[in-house]
Amino acid sequence: MNGQNFLVTGGAGFIGSHRVDALLEAGQAVTVLDDLSVGKMRNVTHHLNHPNFHFVKGSILDKKLVTQLIDDSGSGVRTGLQVPDNNLFGRGLTSDYSVV
């Protein structure tokens, strides 16, 4: 999974934040999208100065935002989104787990 950017939705939550820890430890770049409805910033504050970490407050229900984050990530993005057809917004992206 070298060279990929990971979009971790719900990354400020229990499971998502551990996923973020593991990805950064593995040298991956991570963007967290979380609306903080349940999750806490304190779960990710230790990464705020990490060069490969980016936090966006917002909802996965915001298709425009999610699409922008995917497009900004460039090639190789993987997501934590649960998508029924495993083909996020027709962009041929894969989801490997669900966090919300």
Ligand X SMILES: NC(=O)c1ccc[n+]([C@@H]2O[C@H](COP(=O)([O-])OP(=O)(O)OC[C@H]3O[C@@H](n4cnc5c(N)ncnc54)[C@H](O)[C@@H]3O)[C@@H](O)[C@H]2O)c1
Residues at the contact surface with ligand X, assessed by CB under 6 A: 9-10, 12-16, 33-39, 59-61, 99-100
Encode 53-62: b = buried (16+ Cβ within 10 Å), e = exposed. bbbbebebee
**Considering beta carbons, is residue 3 or 57 the nearer one to ligand X?**
57
Least Å from the CB of residue 54 to ligand X:
15
What span, in angstroms and rounded, lies between the C-alpha atoms of 43 and 78?
Answer: 21
Q: Which two structure tokens, joined as six digits, stand for 28?
A: 């991956």
**Considering beta carbons, is residue 1 or 38 the nearer one to ligand X?**
38
**Considering beta carbons, is residue 14 or 89 the nearer one to ligand X?**
14
What span, in angstroms and rounded, lies between the C-alpha atoms of 67 and 91?
Answer: 9
**Considering beta carbons, is residue 27 or 68 the nearer one to ligand X?**
68
Least Å from the CB of residue 59 to ligand X:
4
What span, in angstroms and rounded, lies between the C-alpha atoms of 13 and 76?
Answer: 24
Least Å from the CB of residue 96 to ligand X:
13
